[in-house]
Amino acid sequence: MNDCRTLLVVDDDPLILQCMQLCLPEPDYRVVTAVTAAKGLELFREMDPDAVLLDIQLPDQSGLALIHEFREMDRRVPVILMTGHGTAETAITAISGGAFEYVTKPFEPDAILPLIDSALETSRMARRPAELPTDSGQPPNRSEKTAADLILGSCPAMVDVFRSIGRVASRDAAVLILGETGTGKEVVARAIYQHSQRHDQVFHAINCAAIPEALLESELFGHERGSFTGADQRRIGKFEICNGGTLFLDEIGDMTPVMQTKLLRVLQEKEFERVGGSKPIKTDVRILAATNRDLESAMADGSFRSDLFYRLNEFTIELPPLRDRGEDVARMAKHFFSLFAEQLGKDLFSIAPETMQRLEAHSWPGNVRELQGIVKQTLLKASGPVIVPAFLPSGFGDSANLGNEVEISNGWETELAEETNRRLALGSFTVSEDIHSAVDRILIREVMKATGNNLSEASLRLGISRPTLRSRMKHLRFTPE
């Protein structure tokens, strides 16, 4: 399995092509370049890129026309359009016509790299198959070349999940996917989309927890020029871009009450207005939503609207925590050991029964994501083909004694309380956002340092997904040291 992502860059400016090749190095990225629209089309067909970066002005054809041709071939491939100054309106037309985003030239690499990462991530979710086991509970046969995420599981609760996916995918119902962190909510959302009638239409995902309210509103609904300070151009939101397609709202339980009301309206009326706009815009979007929060108690304490819950919850899929999946833990561990051993080029002969017992006894607060991380760390530490308990990461299992509640020491609590009160006294109305951001910055800085700036490993240790970590870093404008 190769996680290298292919970006096609179509531009007649050699500096842009070189810059992208330098900024997106192998083996994580493969950048293929074309200086004409004709070559761009040829490479799109040949290389099946994960995303495209496209200049609006090409020597032989306009970038706008080229977007249409790309969309004819595969509308799930996100295209980021590069425009010159004064062509913003054209870019907006392009976004309405299906471009993923646009960026105005000249730009700093720092401005475009998060956009490219987000396009590649969207493409992965839309196009990388999330395969269900066959009726016998076995993973489907597949050629080694097919990069796919197998959704494993043969315990009764997971068999129910597979049945539900099969039942709901082709209906156009909104689906609410519930489960603790790392239980596979995103992978289930992908499977539903990929088996749905909208599988060849646009798919976008948005992490509601990672974006502050004002930005989320404009991200979802777009905004008109001049609608707030800094809104110097009209922006098209996800509800407009995804017309006819699917929108995955991750971490929906973290949405603020104001946003919940706005979302409810678009779900009920199937229309919305851009921020600062008055023209109603019709939209037909299938919503998949996920959360690890307990929405029943959020409704009981008034922090989640029950009418929104019922709208989102035309169908619910609840993923069991890994500790309740019985023998699936051992089966999944074996699967990940052989998959990752192959990826890491390690010889693997067998897993000692004592190692398996330790794995089965663990409570897996981080669920499948934690299991994957432990298996990888164990393989990296292993110095022989039999996986004995000594190869398990040091301290494995001790986290069971840690508990999920953080004990706040006196000094820490006093400082936090003082800082909160200081902000209140200054009249702040963003106390939660400011303090959470400060805490997040420290957490991310320390975990990134400890993991040598490895995003996958850091997200694993933080217990959040890689896209969530990436969007938090973007929001905090955090750059690793």
Shortest Å, Cβ 410 to ligand ATP: 31
Classify residue 261 as left (phi > 0), alpha (psi -120 to 50) or beta: alpha
**Can you tell me whether residue 26 is helix, strand or coil?**
coil
**One-letter amino acid for residue 186 of the chain:** E
Q: Is 152 in the site for ligand ATP (CB under 6 A)?
A: yes
- What's the rounded Cα separation, in Å, for the pair 33 and 60? 16
Quick check: 220 and 239 in contact, CB under 8 A? yes
Q: Is 369 in the site for ligand ATP (CB under 6 A)?
A: yes
Query: Which positions from 371 through 410 interact with ligand ATP, judged by CB under 6 A?
Result: 372
Shortest Å, Cβ 457 to ligand ATP: 13
Q: Where are the alpha helices (DSSP H) in 409-465?
A: 410-425, 431-450, 455-462
Nearer to ligand ATP, 49 or 467 (CB): 467
* Cβ neighbours for 154, distance < 8 A, ≥ 6 positions apart: 133, 137, 327, 328, 331
- What's the rounded Cα separation, in Å, for the pair 217 and 238? 10
The distance of Cα 328 from the centroid of its chain, to the nearest Å, equals: 25
**Can you tell me whether residue 14 is helix, strand or coil?**
helix
Query: Which positions from 109 through 148 interact with ligand ATP, judged by CB under 6 A?
Result: none
φ/ψ of 351, rounded to 5, equals: -110, 125
Nearer to ligand ATP, 38 or 339 (CB): 339
# binding residues, ligand ATP (CB under 6 A): 19
Shortest Å, Cβ 325 to ligand ATP: 9
Of these, 149, 160, 314, 360, which contacts ligand ATP (CB under 6 A)? 149
Nearer to ligand ATP, 157 or 214 (CB): 157
Shortest Å, Cβ 371 to ligand ATP: 8
Nearer to ligand ATP, 380 or 417 (CB): 380
Nearer to ligand ATP, 9 or 462 (CB): 462
**Can you tell me whether residue 19 is helix, strand or coil?**
helix
Q: How many CA atoms lie within 13 A of 2 on its CB side?
A: 11
Shortest Å, Cβ 59 to ligand ATP: 42
Shortest Å, Cβ 182 to ligand ATP: 5
B/e letters for 12-47, b = 16+ CB within 10 Å, e = fewer, are eeeebbebbbeebeeeebbbbbbbbbebbbebbeee
**Can you tell me whether residue 247 is helix, strand or coil?**
strand
Nearer to ligand ATP, 217 or 251 (CB): 251
Q: Annotate each residue in 172-211 with x if it binds ligand ATP (CB under 6 A) or - if it does not, as one string.
A: -------x-xxxxxxx------------------------
Shortest Å, Cβ 152 to ligand ATP: 4
Shortest Å, Cβ 368 to ligand ATP: 4
Query: Which positions from 349 through 368 interact with ligand ATP, judged by CB under 6 A?
Result: 368
Of these, 63, 78, 98, 153, which contacts ligand ATP (CB under 6 A)? 153
Query: Which positions from 447 through 476 interact with ligand ATP, judged by CB under 6 A?
Result: 464-465
Quick check: 176 and 316 in contact, CB under 8 A? yes
Residues lying near ligand ATP in the complex (CB under 6 A) are found at 149-153, 179, 181-187, 292, 368-369, 372, 464-465
